[in-house]
Amino acid sequence: MIDFDTDIIELCRKNERKAQMQLYSIFYKRVYNACYRVLYDSFEAENAMQESFLKAFTNLESYRESISFETWLVRIAVNTSIDRLRKKEVDVIPLDENLCEDISDEDDDDWEQTYEKAQQIKAAIEKLPPTSRLIVNLYLLEGFKHEAIAEKLGITPGAVRVHYMRAKQKLIELI
């Protein structure tokens, strides 16, 4: 989480362009990355990022300080990105329930090995089918709950869990 002066938000609510640029410069990388993890297209992610900031600045009156601004902004970005996917008519396939084993976390202090593993995991995630990749990114990287993902994608929470578990099993095979 990035710590910043909440006065910037108040200035943005008053349409102060300099304050808006400050917020943009603080969060644009985080927002772009969230969009890219959903869309897997740099051009589309850039457009979704810009649209997300426009939505955020337009709706700043609805922001409440009880949650972090970054969390609120990233949620807007993810929702905007998912809406863009829907416009492209990406099909979400409902699946039956299936149980899989959990992956255990390994303790690894060596930065290079950790970096290599992260790159390997990233490459494996990119090989997943679009729906599974989206669910893995939303659940693991963005912190959405299965129910929230299901609601946004228009499928059941059980289908989200199945996609997630199957994706996790496929990642184990790929890695």
> In the chain, count of helices (H) and strands (E)?
8, 0
Q: Please, are residues 60 and 9 in contact by the beta-carbon 8 Å criterion?
A: yes
Greater model confidence, 41 or 87: 41
pLDDT digits (tens, 9 = 90+) for 17-68: 999 999 999 999 999 999 999 998 899 999 999 999 999 999 999 998 888 8
User: Interhelix angle for 146-153 vs 157-174, to 10°?
Assistant: 110
pLDDT digits (tens, 9 = 90+) for 101-157: 443 444 445 677 777 877 888 888 888 888 888 888 888 888 888 888 888 888 888
Q: What is the pLDDT of residue 110?
A: 64
Mean pLDDT of 71-89: 87
**What domains can you pick out in the chain, each with its CATH number?**
7-87 (1.10.1740.10), 111-174 (1.10.10.10)
Residue 9, pLDDT > 60, answer yes
